[in-house]
Amino acid sequence: MPVITSIKLQKKKAWVNLFLDGKFAFSLPAEKVVELGLKENQELSAEQIRNLIKENEFALVFDRVLHFLSFRPRSEKEVLDYLRKKGIGEETQKLVINKLKKLEFLNDKQFASWLLEKRSFDQPRGKHQLKTELLRKGIDKEIVDYLLTQRTEKQELTLAQKLIMKKLPRLANLPPEEKRKKLYSFLINRGFEWEIVKEAVDKLLEK
């Protein structure tokens, strides 16, 4: 049976290179080597080697997913889409998703809450558009509906007025009625309900 002749720590990350019978075989996370109790002069069966190669493949994929998650929170669908795009098989996809959930790196409800808060600051929009975006990202409809019911009319009105204030300077030279129509259309396209749109526009234009 092949023998582990050397286990060498890589320079740039907490991974090690394993050599079998004097030749490089594959790499593994250092913690996995410790967990499995691998050591030099240890004999490995063909089945053990196959399992270690699978561990190597999974660890490499998981590392890439962690990098993908490092830029911003992601929904489960976004991670699955990323894995499919990279050509990762369904079995590995499930293992990755399960591990991310176990480590609490993946939680669609938390992701949806984060996205709603983020949109309130950088890209204000109404409930209709937010619902579309969240559903497109694979968030369960029950979660979406629940979170959106937490948004009060006052919050919606404040966001709509915030958008209008940014838009108004570009419409300064238009006649009042044309300005009103453009603002109505602008807010409706941003996903706000008609009642909110009318109240927000009318209040600001009456000042």
pLDDT at 136 over 90: yes
Instruction: Tell me the residue type at 176.
Output: P
* Rounded CA separation 6/40 (Å): 6
pLDDT digits (tens, 9 = 90+) for 174-191: 888 899 999 999 999 999
**pLDDT band for position 19 (50/70/90)?**
very high
Q: 63-108 pLDDT, tens per residue?
A: 999 999 999 999 999 999 999 999 999 999 999 999 999 999 999 9
Asked if the model's pLDDT at residue 12 lies above 90, the reply is no
The per-residue b/e assignment along 105-140, b for 16 or more CB within 10 angstroms, e otherwise, is: ebebeebbeebbeebbeeebbbbebbbebbeebebe
> Cβ distance 92 to 58 under 8 Å?
yes
Tokens of 125: 């929009």
pLDDT tens per residue, range 63-72? 999 999 999 9
Q: Report the distance separating Cα 111 and Cα 90, nearest Å.
A: 23
